[in-house]
Amino acid sequence: MSPQVNVDSPRSLKLPSQFPFSVVKIHWKQKPTEKLAMDSAPLCPLHFVFIPFMAPGHVIPMVDMAKLFARRKVNVTIVTTPLNSIQFQATIDREIKSGSPIQIQIVEFPFAEAGIPKGCESIDTLPSMSLMSNFNKAVCMMQQPIEELLEKLSPIPCCIIADKHIIYVADIANKFNVPRIIFDGTNCFHLLCNHILRKERVHEDVSHHEEKFVVPGMPGRIELKRSQLPGIFNPGKDMELNVFREQVKESEAKAYGIVVNSFEELEGEYVEEYKRVTGHKVWCVGPVSLSNNDELDKALRIQRDSSHDESKYVKWLDSWPPRSVIYVCLGSLNRAIPKQLIELGLGLEATKRPFIWVLRGGYGREEMEKWLLEDGFEERVKGRGILIKGWAPQVLILPHKAIGAFVTHCGWNSTLEGICAGVPLVTFPLFGEQFYNEKVVVQVMENGVSVGAESVVHLGEEDNSPVQVMKGNVKDAIEKVMGEGEEEEKFRERARKYRDMAWKAIEEGGSSYHNMSQLIEDILHVKG
């Protein structure tokens, strides 16, 4: 199977009915007179190729990062599949009009060959997580088409920045003799913690999953439980997934460097320690979500559901006093079981405060819909509670002056977006590295409180997951950051402090701006 690349004319696709529009092949365009936060430097003789993994939490930050590089006059190509490209087509079109040398190139997704239903080109669209192995198979089948695509690109690519889960990019980079930089999608706290645990294996010495242990070598005293560690330290029953995780780990070690969506003022000690103990090149260039620097950017950032009118949420928020509304979102790959979500909803109701609750597909959608209908929850909270069933314009909602707290699953993208908005966080980690991120928020930044979740909900084992957090826990945690006392005000002060740091880091002269310059210089040197 070879990619259909045609840079001379638009390309239409036969898409499912929920995507009633066409994908247009983007042309190189530069209009120096139409600028949007563009760097004033002359066009850089470099061409970076970005290859994101097909899941919202991976695609979104890589597209944001690609935009930032293009604004620095680096030629940028984003390689993705037809349905994934639709989601960020509008924001890339806007970048091109501003003068950025950026384009999207399409590679077909082999859903039929891999045994995946048509239209499922992103993890969050899979009808069942049991298809994860099929999905990874489809991703691996894209290697040859991507190689053929890169051969036709002009100018010739001189660097590939790819998600760490696309392991065959190592072979592609070797074939084209260009550096491969991996995008991890988390932070240096997570990278350092994983490195130490792999080396020291102290978690294996505890007698019980719920017993605490200290992670040696981490700046500060960091305590974790084995039950809170990512899947690589708690392998499940899916042997193919376990093997894949090991392959990812091996591939990481061979990369030229790692680009991280974080900023040094947030976790500087962990950045330096990770560089020291591994010898890896690390560039912190975030928060990349701040590439969306006006309301239209935020609204166009990703188009997951065209039926939503983002302006109605803003108008509703305008009707509430400052810091009065709770925003709740447990991520695009929600792993919370319905009984746990029900406790969360009842806790929100018990606060008597206004709220926006984002309920994405995820696990147990039908059961949640049944509860909402039969329990009468929506009717009881009518007027002060909004339920968004699907995608929400999070970067548009969070900075609104009415938002007083963000209840988050601690996915790193969401955590950073909350930090950039200057909002105190209520942490509800579910899976992956999210318990690490909770430590960053609650212990390192002291910018939030935990609802009390204790164990990872592993992929494919949701049915065996107990209810960990009761409605009273939810209500109490929210009140700890939204009340009017001295402690609550300290949370708000720290939230504002880190928000200001984040914005300064990404601006010209800031640490992340400097690190991006260093990366560009590094690749220029390699190319020379």
Of 257, 265, 256, the C-alpha closest to 286 is 265
Q: Which of 47, 58, 190, 409 is catalytic?
A: 58
In whole angstroms, what is the distance from residue 289 CA to residue 62 CA? 10
In whole angstroms, what is the distance from residue 31 CA to residue 100 CA? 8
H or E element in which residue 522 lies: helix 511-527
DSSP for 355-387 reads: EEEE--S-TTHHHHHHHHHHH-HHHHTTTTEEE
Give 80's DSSP letter.
E
pLDDT score for 302: 64
In whole angstroms, what is the distance from residue 518 CA to residue 157 CA? 19
In whole angstroms, what is the distance from residue 484 CA to residue 73 CA? 47
Tokens standing for residue 55 = 């899941």
pLDDT score for 293: 76
Q: Which residues pair with 425 in a beta bridge?
A: 406, 448
In whole angstroms, what is the distance from residue 238 CA to residue 228 CA? 19
The lowest-confidence range among 2-6, 269-273, 313-317, 420-424 is: 2-6
- Number of residues that this document lists for the chain: 528
Tokens standing for residue 412 = 């790193």
Domain boundary, last residue among 161, 183, 205 = 183
Q: Which position has the token pair 């969401």?
A: 414
Mean pLDDT of 107-134: 89
Identify whether 236 is part of a domain.
no
9: confidence class by pLDDT, cuts 50, 70, 90? very low
Identify whether 264 is part of a domain.
no
pLDDT score for 299: 67
Whether the bond between 424 and the residue before it is cis, its omega within 30 degrees of 0, is no
Of 398, 302, 408, the C-alpha closest to 64 is 302
Global pTM? 0.86
Q: Are 390 and 308 in contact (CB under 8 A)?
A: yes
Calculated CA dihedral for residues 179, 184, 188, 190, nearest 10 degrees: -140
Percent of the chain at pLDDT above 70?
87
Domain boundary, last residue among 151, 183, 215 = 183
pLDDT tens digit sequence for 13-25: 333 333 322 333 3
- Region of residue 503 (left: phi > 0; alpha: psi -120 to 50; beta: else): alpha
In whole angstroms, what is the distance from residue 203 CA to residue 207 CA? 9
Task: Please give the mean pLDDT across all residues of the chain.
Answer: 86
pLDDT score for 2: 35
> At residue 39, does pLDDT exceed 60?
no
Residues 6+ apart with CB under 8 A from 334: 341, 360, 361, 362, 363, 409, 430
Identify whether 461 is part of a domain.
yes
> At residue 342, does pLDDT exceed 90?
yes
Tell me: do 469 and 326 sit in the same domain: yes
26: confidence class by pLDDT, cuts 50, 70, 90? very low
Q: What end-to-end distance do the CA atoms of the chain give, in Å? A: 34
In whole angstroms, what is the distance from residue 447 CA to residue 426 CA? 9
> For the chain, how long is the longest CA-to-CA vector?
67
Mean pLDDT of 172-197: 95
Identify whether 367 is part of a domain.
yes
Tell me: do 179 and 319 sit in the same domain: no
> At residue 430, does pLDDT exceed 70?
yes
Q: Is 171 a catalytic residue?
A: no
Helices and strands in the chain, H and E counts: 20, 15
Identify whether 11 is part of a domain.
no
> At residue 8, does pLDDT exceed 50?
no
Identify whether 154 is part of a domain.
yes
Side-chain half-sphere CA neighbours of 337 within 13 A: 17
pLDDT tens digit sequence for 70-88: 999 999 999 999 999 998 9
Calculated CA dihedral for residues 116, 120, 122, 126, nearest 10 degrees: -70
310: confidence class by pLDDT, cuts 50, 70, 90? confident
Backbone dihedral angles phi then psi of residue 246, each to the nearest 5 degrees: -65, -35
300: confidence class by pLDDT, cuts 50, 70, 90? low
In whole angstroms, what is the distance from residue 91 CA to residue 104 CA? 11
Of 423, 428, 427, the C-alpha closest to 403 is 423
Identify whether 526 is part of a domain.
no
Domain boundary, last residue among 183, 201, 235 = 183
Mean pLDDT of 207-224: 93
Using DSSP bridges, classify how beta strands 325-329 and 355-358 pair: parallel, antiparallel or unpaired.
parallel
H or E element in which residue 198 lies: helix 188-200
pLDDT score for 440: 97
> At residue 256, does pLDDT exceed 70?
yes
196: confidence class by pLDDT, cuts 50, 70, 90? very high
Q: Which of 124, 163, 184, 238 is catalytic?
A: 163
Of 123, 122, 126, 86, the C-alpha closest to 106 is 86
pLDDT tens digit sequence for 477-502: 999 999 888 999 999 999 999 999 99
Q: Which domain holds residue 369?
A: 307-504
Q: Estimate to the nearest angstrom the gap between the alpha carbon of 528 and the chain centroid.
A: 33
Tokens standing for residue 112 = 């039929």
The enclosing domain of 431 has a CATH number of 3.40.50.2000
Using DSSP bridges, classify how beta strands 223-225 and 212-214 pair: parallel, antiparallel or unpaired.
antiparallel
Is 65 or 7 the better-scoring residue by pLDDT?
Answer: 65
Percent of the chain at pLDDT above 90?
65
pLDDT score for 219: 95
Side-chain half-sphere CA neighbours of 302 within 13 A: 21
Identify whether 165 is part of a domain.
yes
Mean pLDDT of 440-454: 95
106 by DSSP, 3-state: which?
strand
Residues 6+ apart with CB under 8 A from 246: 232
CA-based Rg of the chain, rounded to a whole angstrom?
Answer: 22
Mean pLDDT of 371-392: 90
> At residue 36, does pLDDT exceed 50?
no
pLDDT tens digit sequence for 216-244: 999 999 999 999 998 888 766 667 777 88
In whole angstroms, what is the distance from residue 142 CA to residue 162 CA? 13
Q: Is 318 a catalytic residue?
A: no
> At residue 402, does pLDDT exceed 70?
yes
Tell me: do 311 and 170 sit in the same domain: no
Backbone dihedral angles phi then psi of residue 396, each to the nearest 5 degrees: -85, -35
Work out how many domains the chain is built from and give that number: 2
In whole angstroms, what is the distance from residue 72 CA to residue 37 CA? 9
Q: Are 402 and 50 in contact (CB under 8 A)?
A: no
